[in-house]
C-alpha cells in the first residue's frame, strides 16, 4: 500500500532532525521511494520552513534553541566550495580572507584551484556540488569579456547560495541578481590619477593588462577619468606586457607581441607619470626604465596597481591597494548569512563594493623635466591600444 504523503514527509523530518544533514539519495533508499519523490518532498518542506535544503542534501532548520552564538551555526551549514584560479597571487589574498571567516564559523572548506583550460571552473563547481557542498564562493578567471558572458547562465542557475568574489557581473546580465563583493577599481584609478595630478603631472601613461575583469575595469576607468580632468594634457593607454591580453582564438595565428618599450613611450609623449598594472609587470617595467636611463621617480613618477609586491621593488612603489583580504571576508560573511537562512532570501541581493587605498612610497614626486629623446633611445609610437 502506498504511504500517504504527509506520513512520508513526517518520516523525512524525523530523520533529518535526529541525524542532521542527510543526502536525498539516502533518504530515497531508506523510504523505498524514488529520488525524484524525495526531492519534491524536501523542496516543499523547505518552502514551508520545516527544513533546509542544499544541493542534494536535506538539513534541519537552525533555531534560536539550537544555536548559542553567531559563529556556532556554521558547524551545521555543511561544506563551502571555494574556487579560485591557479597561479593568481592577487586572488589568493582574497581566498585567505574568506578562509579566516569560514574557519571561525566552523564551516568546512573545500578548496578548488581552477586551471586555465576553458570550462574547468564549471566542471569543478558541478563536481563540488555533487559531492555535497552547500554553498559556493568563486572568483572566476574571466580572461576575456566573452568567457565572462559565457559563464553567466550556469552560475545564475545554481541552486545553492553563491557569492562572486572580486568580480562585478555586467548590469542586466543573468548574473546581475547574484550576491557579489568587489573592490571599487574605478575609485582605485581615481586615487592613482589624483595623486599624480596633485604632484603636478599632466601627461600620464597607463600601462595595464587586459586579461581579467580587474584589468578591464582599470582601463575603462582611466579613459573616463582622463577625459574628465581638464588638467591632464595627454593620457596614453598601452599594454603592460605582451602576455597581458586574453588568449587569442587559435585560428587567428596572432604572433606574440614585443615587450613594451615604456621608455620610448615616455619620451615620445613627454609623459612624466605612469600608472602600471599589475604589480609584477610594474616592477619589471621600472627595471627596464632604469636600464634605459630613466630614473624613478626623478624622471618619471610611478604608481603601481595591486600592491602585492610593489613595496619590495628596488625603489618601493607607491601603489593602489585594493582590499583583497577584506573582499574575501565580506564575501564569506555574506555567504554564511545566506546559508543560515537555508538558501532562502535574507534581504535583497547585495552587490558590495569596498574602496581601495593609496599607499605612498618612494616612486612619486613632482615632475622635473620630461624625459628627453636621445639618439640611443629614439622615440617610437607606442604599441596599439587593446580594446577597452
The C-alpha atoms of residue 340 and residue 362 are separated, in whole angstroms, by 47
* C-beta separation of 218 from 248 below 8 A: no
In angstroms, the Cα distances linking 205 to 50, 159, 236, 276, 350 are 59, 45, 5, 8, 35
- Beta bridge partners, 164, equal 138, 180
Percent of the chain residues topping a pLDDT of 90? 57
Please give the grid coordinates belonging to residue 51. Answer: 527544513
The C-alpha atoms of residue 377 and residue 265 are separated, in whole angstroms, by 10
Find where cell 557581473 sits: 169
In angstroms, the Cα distances linking 193 to 40, 46, 290, 346 are 56, 51, 23, 39
Burial 279-292 (b: 16+ CB within 10 A, else e): bbbbbbbbeebeeb
Res 117: pLDDT: 84
Q: Which of 79-83, 168-172, 258-262, 375-379 has the lowest mean pLDDT?
A: 375-379
Contact residues for 108 (Cβ-Cβ < 8 A; gap 6+): 78, 79, 80
Given a cut of 50, whether residue 326 has pLDDT beyond it is yes
* C-beta separation of 363 from 296 below 8 A: yes
Where are the alpha helices (H) located in 233-275, listed in sequence order?
262-269
Given a cut of 50, whether residue 251 has pLDDT beyond it is no
Given a cut of 90, whether residue 258 has pLDDT beyond it is no
The C-alpha atoms of residue 324 and residue 102 are separated, in whole angstroms, by 16
Given a cut of 90, whether residue 325 has pLDDT beyond it is yes
Instruction: Place 26 in a pLDDT band, splitting at 50, 70 and 90.
Output: confident
Amino acid at each position: 500500500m502506498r504511504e500517504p504523503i504527509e506520513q512520508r514527509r513526517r518520516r523525512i523530518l524525523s530523520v533529518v532532525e535526529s541525524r542532521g544533514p542527510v543526502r536525498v539519495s539516502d533518504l530515497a533508499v531508506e523510504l523505498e521511494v524514488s529520488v525524484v519523490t524525495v526531492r519534491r518532498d524536501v523542496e516543499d518542506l523547505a518552502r514551508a520552513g520545516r527544513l533546509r535544503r542544499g544541493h542534494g542534501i536535506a538539513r534541519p532548520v537552525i533555531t534560536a534553541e539550537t544555536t548559542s552564538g553567531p559563529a556556532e551555526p556554521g558547524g551545521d551549514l555543511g561544506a563551502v566550495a571555494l574556487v579560485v584560479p591557479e597561479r593568481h597571487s592577487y586572488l589568493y589574498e582574497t581566498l585567505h580572507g574568506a578562509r579566516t571567516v569560514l574557519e571561525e564559523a566552523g564551516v568546512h572548506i573545500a578548496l578548488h584551484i581552477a586551471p586555465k583550460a576553458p570550462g574547468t571552473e564549471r566542471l569543478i563547481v558541478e563536481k563540488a556540488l555533487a559531492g555535497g557542498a552547500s554553498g559556493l564562493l568563486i572568483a572566476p578567471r574571466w580572461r576575456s569579456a566573452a568567457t565572462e558572458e559565457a559563464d553567466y547562465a550556469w552560475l545564475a542557475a545554481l541552486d545553492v547560495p553563491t557569492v562572486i568574489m572580486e568580480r562585478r557581473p555586467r548590469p542586466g546580465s543573468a548574473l546581475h541578481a547574484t550576491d557579489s563583493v568587489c573592490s571599487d577599481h574605478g575609485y582605485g584609478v581615481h586615487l592613482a590619477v589624483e595623486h599624480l595630478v596633485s604632484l603636478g603631472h599632466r601627461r600620464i601613461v597607463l600601462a595595464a593588462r587586459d586579461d581579467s575583469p580587474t584589468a578591464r575595469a582599470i582601463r575603462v576607468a582611466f579613459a573616463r577619468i582622463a577625459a574628465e580632468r581638464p588638467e591632464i594634457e595627454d593620457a596614453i593607454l598601452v599594454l603592460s606586457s605582451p602576455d597581458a591580453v586574453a588568449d587569442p582564438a587559435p585560428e587567428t595565428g596572432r604572433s606574440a607581441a614585443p615587450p613594451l618599450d615604456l621608455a620610448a613611450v615616455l619620451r615620445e609623449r613627454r609623459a612624466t607619470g605612469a600608472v602600471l598594472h599589475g604589480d609584477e609587470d610594474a616592477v619589471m617595467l621600472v627595471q627596464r626604465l632604469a636600464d634605459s636611463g630613466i630614473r624613478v621617480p626623478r624622471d618619471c613618477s610611478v604608481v603601481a596597481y595591486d600592491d602585492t609586491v610593489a613595496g619590495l621593488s628596488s625603489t618601493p612603489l607607491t601603489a593602489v591597494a585594493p582590499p583583497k583580504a577584506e573582499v574575501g571576508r565580506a564575501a564569506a560573511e555574506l555567504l554564511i548569512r545566506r546559508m543560515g537562512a537555508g538558501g532562502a532570501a535574507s534581504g535583497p541581493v547585495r552587490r558590495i563594493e569596498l574602496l581601495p587605498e593609496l599607499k605612498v612610497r618612494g616612486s612619486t614626486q613632482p615632475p622635473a623635466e620630461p624625459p628627453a629623446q636621445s639618439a640611443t633611445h629614439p622615440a617610437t609610437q607606442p604599441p596599439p591600444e587593446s580594446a577597452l
